[in-house]
């Protein structure tokens, strides 16, 4: 039930269901991670940090709990939180020998946050270095992780290229991601985003149509349909 509530964004009810499930088995990974996700969505970071810390003590080699704690620490952003979040990610990266795609993704999120903060402070050179670090880290992860997980990293790398103004790089990564996993609607929508950024509105419209056929869930069908009128309107404005 908790997973269903998360999919409908009823996070308070999801929290309750997962909490009840954990009373029966407080070591069940799916219940723990669902509980953490419901709490994160409600910005209950202290609860995530406390519960994830207990889970880490019970299962120190389970990197997933460190990932959950790292995300909560980063978002809470009290003094020392972000250093602690990076430390958690480094532990998980070591445990997985660099092959954990989610760790790479989180690192890139954190670096992107720092890029935006530095950019807002007018520190353009320092900001770009954060993005370049994220690019290098994602590229290394793509080579190491399983093929089925590579599109997740490529889609994020595509976004970073957009921030760097590199439309060719953005399209290249999402195109490769589609080759690696053509059965996941998110990969199509990421390519639509990259094509739109490059001003290739006709191609983006066609890709949005194709994405809809790969979207078994209503949410995926919604986003596929959402892109199509935008493509038409942008094409009208450009032509």
- DSSP state letter for 217: S
For the record, the structure tokens of 91 come out as: 């532990």
Residues 39/48, Cβ–Cβ less than 8 Å: yes
- Percent of the chain predicted with pLDDT > 90: 69
pLDDT at 210: 82
Residues 70/89, Cβ–Cβ less than 8 Å: yes
The gap from C-alpha 25 to its chain's centroid, in whole angstroms, comes to 28
Helix (H/G/I), strand (E/B), else coil: 21:
helix
Q: Does the pLDDT value for residue 235 go beyond 60?
A: no
**DSSP string over 90-104:** HHHHHHTTT--HHHH
What number of other Cβ atoms are within 10 A of residue 222's Cβ?
A: 11
- Of residues 144, 115, 119, the one with CA closest to residue 132: 115
pLDDT tens column, 80-129: 999 999 999 999 999 999 999 999 999 999 999 999 999 999 999 999 99
CATH class of 1-95: mainly alpha
Residues 76/52, Cβ–Cβ less than 8 Å: no
Band of residue 230 on the pLDDT scale cut at 50, 70, 90: low
Q: Does the pLDDT value for residue 234 go beyond 90?
A: no
Distance CA 133, CA 126 (A): 11
Any idea where the domains of the chain sit in the sequence?
1-95
Q: Does the pLDDT value for residue 1 go beyond 80?
A: no
pLDDT at 185: 85
Distance CA 166, CA 105 (A): 20
pLDDT at 229: 55
Over range 204-226, report the average pLDDT.
63
């Amino acid at each position: 039930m908790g997973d269903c509530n998360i999919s409908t964004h009823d996070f308070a009810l999801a929290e309750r269901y997962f909490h009840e499930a954990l009373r029966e088995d407080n070591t069940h990974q799916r219940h723990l991670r669902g509980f953490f996700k419901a709490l994160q969505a409600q910005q209950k970071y202290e609860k995530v940090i406390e519960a994830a810390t207990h889970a880490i003590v019970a299962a120190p080699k389970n990197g997933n709990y460190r990932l959950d704690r790292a995300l909560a620490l980063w978002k809470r952003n009290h003094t020392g939180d972000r250093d602690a979040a990076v430390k958690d990610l480094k532990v998980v990266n070591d445990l997985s020998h660099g092959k954990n795609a989610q760790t790479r993704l989180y690192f890139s999120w954190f670096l992107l946050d720092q890029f935006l903060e530095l950019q807002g402070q007018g520190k353009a050179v320092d900001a770009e270095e954060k993005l370049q670090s994220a690019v290098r880290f994602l590229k290394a992860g793509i080579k190491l992780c399983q093929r089925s997980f590579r599109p997740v990293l490529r889609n994020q790398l595509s976004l970073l290229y957009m921030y760097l103004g590199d439309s060719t790089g953005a399209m290249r990564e999402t195109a490769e991601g589609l080759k690696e996993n053509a059965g996941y609607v998110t990969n199509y929508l990421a390519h639509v985003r990259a094509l739109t950024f490059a001003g290739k509105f006709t191609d983006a419209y066609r890709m949005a149509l194709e994405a809809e056929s790969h979207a078994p869930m209503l949410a995926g069908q919604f986003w596929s349909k959402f892109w199509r009128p935008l493509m038409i309107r942008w094409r009208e404005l450009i032509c």
